[in-house]
Chains A and B, each alone.
Chain A
Amino acid sequence: MAIVEPRTTERAPEPQRHWLVEWLTTTDHKRIGILYLGNSFAFFFVAGLFALLMRTELAAPGRQLVTTNGYNQLFTLHGTLMIFLFILPVLVGFGNYLIPLQIGALDMAFPRINALSFWLLPVGGLTILSGLLARGGAAAAGWTSYAPVSEQGGAGQDLWIVGLVVVGTASILSGVNFIVTILRLRAPGMTMTRLPVFVWSMLATSLLMVLATPVLTAGLLMLFADRRLGAFFFNPTHGGDVLLWQHVFWFFGHPEVYMLILGAWGVVSEILPVFSGRPLFGYPGVILAFVLITALSFSVWAHHMFVTGQVEYPFFSATTELISIPTGVLFFNWLATLWRGRLRFEPPMLFALGFIALFLIGGVDGVWMASPSMDFAIHDTYWVVAHIHYVLFGGTVFGVMAASYYWFPKITGRLLSRKLGQWHFWLMFLGFNLTFFPMHELGLRGMPRRVADYLPDAGWSFLNQLATAGSFLIAVSLLVFLVNVVLTLRRPPDAPPDPWEGNTLEWATTSPPPVHNFDRLPEVRSNRPVRDGREQEVAR
């Protein structure tokens, strides 16, 4: 007697090929999504290891572990890999897996371009990392690689440039793919005003990827021409302009930070309604906020350059304050969604709530720095390090963890352990605040970022010890996550199609979904089609 699961019978007609060939040549958006997630988390662990090395170096005054140049390489690689090879690709990975499911499509608009844009990522990432093998080591000019520092340095810097051009190309291609998919492949009834919030957030992200990434590519090519062809773009001795790099970089760089956060906002806006049993408060307001932020993100870049004294302070200060208004609107939407809801504190919800608390702190930090006079005091200090981590770690990474716990059963057919998830959350929440909250104070006390050493009598030792202890707590929490994933994957799949009572279409198919995504597509009459279906069942 054999028990045949419906899933396996559906897969049967495919020609039998080695599983490795299947994965290397796949154009299925779900498999590519999984490849994206696996690749991103691999780079997350590498870049996290670099962070631990830095924190160990900073645990006490004096140099313990690395040379100053080694330290420069560590923070350059940490920032570059986290931003370009983890945070953006992990969001794009969830987008790859979920957007076709959430809009009721069979696949992405261009499946082969989709595969290409994935495979460019490990190539670009490894190119950047291969700088470690070059003479003089990897790139050491920081993730922002300001000229003229980035005009110097060895082959590591060139590999950094080439790697980023490759990664940028991947990002432009996936942006094009997402936009066409979302505009053209929606199921009947799935109008733009019924699009899940996560899909909207990825549409905004894609627009930024398409319009801002080429600006970085152009800047990188100028830098490469300066370094290898003998051009003078950033060299004032022959008529170039050294500030030009900062303008070009941040004209890309500020939309970039919104690429890194919009997807997480989308995730949280999906999860909060599900676990509070309420509709998202003010769906049109959330969408409008996304759109306004996307548009405004192109007008704020020079707030990174206040201390150059070469920018228009009132304009860039005002636009920066302005962009905090739609961001503030999002907070009210989230809080109003929770208001009088029946909250279920499952791991995805814990991370989503943690996101709200931590991103709020990061956001308020940002409003402070929008004031030029304030910025003069804290520019290039640990305050900035605190801010960026509250936004990108407390914000996006907590959002990514929420997404991981939320969609893990859909992707693998298995629910992650609730208990280990709670441990993961509390350890990470505690470790995160222990690491990064003291950095505000360190910044106010004048500790500069990007230094490998500090004096024993500077008064920074204790806070640095706290931060180092916290960083190891974060590492422990991530080990708990890893153990949870490994243990769960060893169990047989048992997740129902809709374990959380979700709203969106991905919960209307099996966990994991069949190759063709849906056996039967439910009717879409609102932006919560699966919930509508449940209510009809109850009514009958």
Chain B
Amino acid sequence: MTDRQEVWIVDRFEGEYAVVERALHETLHLPRALLPVGVREGDALRVIVSAGDEEVRLAIARDALETSRRATEARRILGDLKQQYPGGKVEL
């Protein structure tokens, strides 16, 4: 078995399915039951992929630190844009 680590982001839930972003422009549609019970939209998941000749094992855990880091970064970029372009109107 060789292990590798990935970070997936929960994009959204659609009924009994979760849509997770594995990479930019790559999403997976998973039964919600395969994710930790407390997972919410926007959560980062630390995924350990153990691949062998006959089987692949996935260990999926919510990563609170990575979730927080990404949330901070998203707020920062959005905050910069809002500061640069406050309020106003849309004139085409």
> Do A and B bind?
no
Binding site for B on A (CB under 8 A): none
Interfacial residues, chain B to chain A (CB-CB below 8 A): none
